[in-house]
Amino acid sequence: MNAIEVDNLRRIYRPVMGIFRRKVKEIVAVDDISFYVKPGELFGILGPNGAGKTTTVKILVTILIPTSGSARIQGFDVVREAEKVRPRIGFILGGERGLYWRLSGVDNLRYFASLYHVDPGISKSRIPYLMELVGLEDRGKEKVEGYSRGMKQRLHIARALLHDPDILFLDEPSIGLDPIGAREVREVVRNLQAEKKTILLTTHYMFEADALCQRIAVINHGKIVALDTPEALKEVVKDLHIIEVEVFGIPSEVIERLQAKGFIENLAVENVEQRQVLLIQTARGSEAVPDILAILNGLRVGKISVREPTLEDAYVRLVGNKGE
Amino acid sequence: MASIRPFYLTKYLRVIASTFEMTFRQTVKDAFILFAVLFQPLIIAMLALWMLKDKGGQYIIFVVIGSGMTGLWSSLLFISGNGITVERWMGTLESLVAAPTPIQVVVIGKNLANVLQSLGSMVVSYILVSFIFGYPLSIAQPWLFLISLIITVVSFVCFGIIIASLFILNPDVQRWQNGLEFPVYILCGFLFPIALLPGWTTPLSYLLTPYWAALALHASAQGTGTIANISFAWGVMLGYSILYLFLSKRLFRVILKKARVDATLSMH
Ligand SMILES: Nc1ncnc2c1ncn2[C@@H]1O[C@H](COP(=O)(O)OP(=O)(O)O)[C@@H](O)[C@H]1O
Ligand SMILES: [Mg+2]
């Protein structure tokens, strides 16, 4: 049996806009997605902000009801059998909220342990173990309000593990962390994987998904645009080369003219201060450079480089831009 | 809650105890709560004492208890009433809902902490008034009073669950809260007997569990009641409590379902 099964899941938000004229706007956050996660697998959902990652996770952890479609955790329906799902899963929803800031880290864990009916005898040894696992063993007695963002996020992970669930949902566990904090969180995730936990992780960092996940669903505008292993996803851009061209103040007509060229498979523009970096995907490799320069004629051009594609480029190809 | 096995009962009692403990620890430093719990009843007690100082000794204990009850009611209305909303602001509500403990159990623990903290204010008023003002205060029927107090706590805790759930359903929380504070003081006879009110309000008083609490506490403190009418008040309070528990189970099921459909468990 699969650990997680998702069938044709859809979720529409209908936020009420305005106080007097109650306009109702519809937002399709998750648009007919299906996937499964095998026991012990580390599965990634990768997508830009607003793609529907958090919505998907919230449905799976029973705090949001789907508009249509269904999902099962270890065979239990997340809507009809939420009570059976809840003790079997742990989750974090990213960010630093969701903790009792006036209490210490250890007190937060003690409280959630009681909510998850962890035997007091067990939590006595489990809490110190978890605090060590997430690298907070020296700070456990301090109030959470004094924790850094990364510490709060790691405390969340410890909270999710209190009842030793088989299945974990980690929604953007490294969001907003500095590179060191993010690396520490990834280390924790790797350790969990080694413990044979089933993990569903969402992220908008390509390299994080690449480094951690066995399979990745790339999601954009609520839809899965690709689902495969990182290696297979790279196949999308296998025959392409990436030409990076630095330009200064490129007009949009020139970008459109480049995009119209048949030999350019994909073009993304990154703004870096007053210059732009064109990321051009082409099958022609360095041979395409003179043609590109001909179109850029008259503009100030900086560095030009040709390189092999990475998973990042596959992501750019699938999602259409750098994901911002 | 008929289907609860003993196994769950101990787990739930443990949740109530840990919720109680952490609510208590979080609130001891909260200025607003200190005001509601300690200073407001004291101010009311002193004002009332000053106005009633010619009325004689038996009135004093009435005022002490009445002012304690105002503190109890205010804290139930504002702190228990906002309990869920505060969790929502902190971002902890989603974690509470997703945990395998019914949310009513958590609400019971929070309410218990709040009610017992307010009871502290009754004691403070009592001690301050008797020492500073030099009034000799005594409880006429201490055992009946103690039992009344315990049942009062139970019934307030249960009443608080209903208040918390109704306030989640009703978005105009603030207006409801302010509008309910003083009418209940008056309707429940905290500070003067309801016999002074027009007759049509009496049935309203009977519907409110704080009325029966005030009746039992006032009567046993002053020695004006019989065992029969005090224990009748106990029975009504316990009856209401069971009713509230049943109702709250249903109310929360509806409310949480609606919140999961409308995505209102967190601030988007
Ligand atoms: N409670 C909500 N009410 C209305 N719209 C929402 C709500 N939550 C999310 N959305 C919208 O749904 C879309 C998907 O959001 P989300 O699932 O949070 O994406 P992600 O986690 O991938 O950034 C976004 O357009 C977001 O603005
Ligand atoms: Mg998100």
Domain final residue, candidates A175, A210, A229:
A229
Q: A304 in helix, strand or coil? A: strand
Question: Which one has a higher pLDDT value, B36 or A10?
Answer: A10
Domain spans of chain B, in order of start: 10-262
B263 lines ligand 1 (CB under 6 A): yes
Q: Is B100 in Cβ contact with A100 (below 8 Å)?
A: no
Portion 89-108 of B in contact with A at CB < 8 A: 90-92, 94-101, 106
Q: What CATH number has the domain bearing residue A272?
A: 3.30.70.260
The mean per-residue pLDDT over the stretch A173-202 comes to 90
Q: What pLDDT score was predicted for residue B173?
A: 64
Question: From atom 24 of ligand 1, which residue's Cα is the shortest distance away?
Answer: A50
A52 lines ligand 1 (CB under 6 A): yes
With CA atoms as reference, the chain A residue closest to B96 would be A115
The mean per-residue pLDDT over the stretch B69-79 comes to 84
> Same structural domain for residues A251 and A304?
yes
Q: For residue A48, is it within any domain?
A: yes
* pLDDT score of B196 more than 70: yes
**Token pair recorded at residue A70:** 């269904």
* pLDDT score of A203 more than 60: yes
Task: Tell me which residue range forms the domain holding A268.
Answer: 239-308
Q: Which residues, including other chains, have CB under 8 Å from residue A110's CB and lie 6 or more apart?
A: A123, A127, B18
> Same structural domain for residues A293 and A154?
no
A29 lines ligand 1 (CB under 6 A): yes
Reported ipTM? 0.85
Q: Is B91 in Cβ contact with A98 (below 8 Å)?
A: yes
Task: Phi first, then psi: give them for residue A236, nearest 5 degrees.
Answer: -55, -35
* pLDDT score of A22 more than 80: no
* pLDDT score of B82 more than 60: yes
Q: What confidence tens digit (pLDDT) does each residue in A287-310 have?
A: 889 999 989 888 899 899 998 887
Domain final residue, candidates A183, A201, A229:
A229
> Same structural domain for residues A287 and A189?
no
A169 touches B: beta carbon within 8 Å: no
Q: What pLDDT score was predicted for residue A231?
A: 86
* pLDDT score of B233 more than 90: yes
Rounded CA gap, B27 and A2, in Å?
A: 45
Q: Which residues, including other chains, have CB under 8 Å from residue B54's CB and lie 6 or more apart?
A: none
User: Looking at the 3D structure of chain A, how many domains does it have?
Assistant: 2
* pLDDT score of B1 more than 50: no
Q: What pLDDT score was predicted for residue A27?
A: 93
| The ligand 1 atom nearest the CA atom of A204 | 22
Q: What CATH number has the domain bearing residue A94?
A: 3.40.50.300
The mean per-residue pLDDT over the stretch A10-15 comes to 92
pLDDT band for A321, please (50, 70, 90 cuts).
low
Query: Ligand 1 centre and the CA of A225: distance in Å?
Result: 18
CB B71 within 8 A of CB B121: yes
Q: For residue A319, is it within any domain?
A: no
Question: Which one has a higher pLDDT value, A63 or B64?
Answer: A63
> Same structural domain for residues A152 and A61?
yes
**In B60-101, beta strands by DSSP E:** none
B261 lines ligand 1 (CB under 6 A): no
Rounded CA gap, A8 and A184, in Å?
A: 35
Domain final residue, candidates A207, A229, A251:
A229
Q: For residue A317, is it within any domain?
A: no
> Same structural domain for residues A95 and A218?
yes
- Tell which residue, A296, A208, A309, A308, has the closest CA to residue A253: A296
Question: Counting beta carbons within 10 angstroms of the beta carbon of residue A12, is it exposed (0 to 12), middle (13 to 18) or buried (19 or more)?
Answer: middle
Question: Counting beta carbons within 10 angstroms of the beta carbon of residue A150, is it exposed (0 to 12), middle (13 to 18) or buried (19 or more)?
Answer: buried
A50 lines ligand 1 (CB under 6 A): yes
> Same structural domain for residues A245 and A225?
no
* pLDDT score of A324 more than 50: no
The mean per-residue pLDDT over the stretch A88-116 comes to 93
Question: Which one has a higher pLDDT value, B268 or A137?
Answer: A137
Query: B47-73 b/e with 16+ CB inside 10 Å = b?
Result: ebbeeeeeeeeebbbbbbbbbbbbbbb
> Same structural domain for residues A27 and A102?
yes
Q: For residue A318, is it within any domain?
A: no
> Same structural domain for residues A256 and A220?
no
Q: For residue A295, is it within any domain?
A: yes
In a mutational test of the A interface, the residue from B22, B23, B30, B110 whose CB has the highest number of chain A CBs within 10 Å is B22
> Same structural domain for residues A65 and A126?
yes
Rounded CA gap, B117 and B109, in Å?
A: 12
The mean per-residue pLDDT over the stretch B179-185 comes to 83
Q: For residue A316, is it within any domain?
A: no
Q: A277 in helix, strand or coil? A: strand
Stated pTM of the model: 0.85
With CA atoms as reference, the chain A residue closest to B19 would be A111
> Same structural domain for residues A137 and A247?
no
Lowest mean pLDDT among A173-187, A219-233, A242-256, B180-194: B180-194
User: pLDDT averaged over chain A?
Assistant: 90
**Token pair recorded at residue B267:** 């601030």
